[in-house]
Amino acid sequence: MRIFLIGFMGSGKTHWGKQVAQRLHLPFYDLDEVIVAAEHRTIPDIFGESGEEYFRNKEKEMLEKLVDENTNMVLSCGGGTPCFFNNIEFMKKYGTVVWLNTQVDVMLHRLMKERELRPLLKDITNEDLKYYIIRKLNERRMYYEQADVIIDKEDAISMNDFIQTVLHA
Ligand code: S3P
């Protein structure tokens, strides 16, 4: 069983991914962390030194490698992972894709506190952040919506309900 968690930055992918993996006794991976380990540099450094295109190619490569090496896993993707190349089709083919459709205000609150590791937010002021999230989410929605499972109230759902919803997809 492979479970792919997708959603915007700050939607809760890593938090839920770790918990679901623990409950289901599956190995857990965070795609950003796998890229950082392979590259021996941080995400902002990869973007800054090599550019976003390089990062997206690496992201695709690591996604495919993880799928190749793991028939069972929970993978928390980066916010952009399903929106590049054929990544969303690829993930749907090899597992269950879960979109955390978290409310904008919840993500805004989280991102205000933890933005330094996210190069896409580097030049965006706190005042503009909400509009950035709304705009970018609208651009990406067509990819996120292709998920097999959509979790609408991520901040209000219990772990049991989350797992039941995913298992019955
Ligand atoms: C990105 C999200 C980040 C990371 C990179 C790009 C995006 O992951 O992959 O900074 O394009 O939304 P998180 O969603 O885990 O912050």
Measured CA distances, 77 to 32, 62, 88, 125, 127 (Å): 7, 11, 11, 25, 27
Cα gap 51→112, rounded to integer Å: 24
Max CA pair span of the chain? 43
- Phi, then psi, of 151 in degrees rounded to 5: -105, 110
In a domain, 49, yes or no: yes
Q: CATH no. for residue 76?
A: 3.40.50.300
Q: Whose CA is nearest to atom 15 of ligand 1?
A: 78
Tens of pLDDT, residue by residue over 90-114, are: 999 999 999 999 999 999 999 999 8
What integer pLDDT is reported at residue 34 of this predicted model?
98
In a domain, 26, yes or no: yes
In a domain, 169, yes or no: no
9, 53, 115, 132, best to mutate for ligand 1 pocket (most atoms within 8 Å of CB): 9
Domain residue limits at 43 = 2-163
Measured CA distances, 149 to 18, 96, 144 (Å): 18, 8, 10
pTM of the model: 0.97
The answer to whether the beta carbons of residues 97 and 7 sit under 8 Å apart is no
